[in-house]
Chains A and B, each alone.
Chain A
């Protein structure tokens, strides 16, 4: 079984500043993937970043990076140089490599960007 917990329902950040969104997870799988998905007010959900659990190196995609702490089962998302277009719901998600269960989402964090 897998669970994903996002403890921050809402966050805000000043434009050009840095913000970190928290996520913890639990899984019985030995190999798994972790994700951050973004859902802007226009509703289409898109993948922001993906981390493969067997890789120790933290994933990075331009202004987005993760802090993956496997032992602590923590997977936070850092957004640098925040832009107005970053305002959205952010969902942390996990899927095991066994293929026994589909993707599991956290409850989401609503990020506001203040100009």
Chain B
């Protein structure tokens, strides 16, 4: 059973749409992550939240907007995306501050995004 839950599992959107991806964990982890993964490629880090504060933004375009409403939830708001943004978006969490974690990440199953 996955302990990091992502919704929706699949999302199709047009370039003018606004949508959101959601992630939830109840393990008490205080660091949460968004990764983007293209087919047959490793995950690419997008954002890191540590104690609900944005700690890392890996030069991600502003059409991706993260939000961490509380320690259990992480959202990724999508607006005016491009077809090349189509990918699997993975959420992950880890114990403690991200700078002090031992590298063990707990991943969700991902949200498969298709931009038309």
Contacts and interface: CB of A to CB of B under 8 A. Distances in A.
A43 B109 contact: yes
Interface of B is mostly: loop
B104 A45 contact: no
Contacts of A35: 103-104
From B88, B100, B103, B110, name the one whose CB has the most chain A CB atoms within 10 angstroms: B103
A67 to B, nearest CB: 19
B2 A44 contact: yes
B113 interface: no
Interface in B52-72: 56
A91 interface: yes
Interface stretch (A20-28, A54-62, A78-86, A95-103): A95-103
Interface of A, secondary structure class, is strand
B108 to A, nearest CB: 7
B45 A108 contact: no
Contact of B102 (A50, A105, A110): A50
A42 interface: yes
Nearest to B105: A103
B103 A106 contact: no
A91 B35 CA distance: 14
Interface size class of A (residues with CB under 8 A): 20 to 34
Contacts of A91: 42-43
A33 B105 CA distance: 12
Contact size range, B: 20 to 34
A100 B101 CA distance: 11
B42 A44 contact: no
A110 B98 CA distance: 28
Nearest to A108: B42
Contacts of A89: 40
B23 interface: no
Given A35-B104, A37-B105, A45-B107, 4 more contacts: A33-B103, A35-B103, A50-B102, A52-B102
10 contacts: A33-B102, A33-B103, A44-B2, A44-B109, A45-B92, A45-B105, A50-B104, A94-B103, A99-B100, A103-B45
